Amino acid sequence: MNINENNLILKTDSYKASQYKQYPKETTRLFSYAESRGGIYPETIFFGLQYLVKKYLLKQITIEDVEEAKAFFAIHGVDFNYDGWMYIAKDLKGKLPIIIRAVPEGTKVPIKNALMTLESTDPKVFWIVNWLETLLLKIWYSTTVATQSSFLRKEIYNSLVKTSDDPNAEIDFKLHSFGYRGSSSEETAAIGGAAELLSFKGTDTIIGIICANNYYDAGICGFSINASEHSTITSWGKENELAAYRNMLNQFGRNGSVFACVSDSYDIYNACEKLWGTELKEDIIKSGATLVIRPDSGDPEEVVSKCLSILDSKFGSIINSKGYKVINNVRLIQGDGVNPASIKKIMKRIISENYSMTNIAFGMGGASLQGINRDTQQFAFKASHIMVGTKSVDVFKSPVTDPGKVSKSGRLDLIRGGAGGGFTTIKLSSDVSCHNFTAMQTVYKNGELLIDETFETIRERAKV
Q: CA distances (Å), 352 to each of 162, 330, 347, 357, in order?
A: 12, 20, 8, 11
Q: What does the alpha-carbon distance between residue 17 and residue 112 come to, in Å, rounded to a whole number?
A: 29
Q: What is the pTM of this model?
A: 0.96
How many residues does the structure list for the chain? 464
Are the beta carbons of 256 and 288 closer than 8 angstroms? yes
Q: β-pairing, 175-177 with 360-364?
A: parallel
**Sign of the CA dihedral running 190, 177, 185, 369:** negative
Count Cβ atoms below 10 Å from residue 171 Cβ, excluding itself: 22
SS (H, E, C) 120-163: ECCHHHCCHHHHCHHHHCCHHHHHHHHHHHHHHHHHHHHHHHHH
Per-residue pLDDT of the chain (464 residues; tens, 9 = 90+): 799 999 999 999 999 999 999 999 999 999 999 999 999 999 999 999 999 999 999 999 999 999 999 999 999 999 999 999 999 999 999 999 999 999 999 999 999 999 999 999 999 999 999 999 999 999 999 999 999 999 999 999 999 999 999 999 999 999 999 999 999 999 999 999 999 999 999 999 999 999 999 999 999 999 999 999 999 999 999 999 999 999 999 999 999 999 999 999 999 999 999 999 999 999 999 999 999 999 999 999 999 999 999 999 999 999 999 999 999 999 999 999 999 999 999 999 999 999 999 999 999 998 999 999 999 999 999 999 999 999 999 999 999 999 989 999 999 999 987 555 689 999 987 655 545 689 999 999 999 999 999 999 999 999 98
Of the candidates 146, 56, 94, the residue with the CA atom closest to the CA atom of residue 458: 146
Of the candidates 66, 193, 58, the residue with the CA atom closest to the CA atom of residue 135: 58
- b/e per residue 37-58 (b: at least 16 CB within 10 A): bbbebebbbbbbbbbbbbbbbe
Count Cβ atoms below 10 Å from residue 88 Cβ, excluding itself: 24
CATH number for the domain formed by residue range(s) 28-58+96-137+376-462: 3.20.140.10
Q: Where are the domains of the chain?
A: 28-58+96-137+376-462
Stretch (H or E) spanning 352: helix 340-352
Q: β-pairing, 258-262 with 290-294?
A: parallel
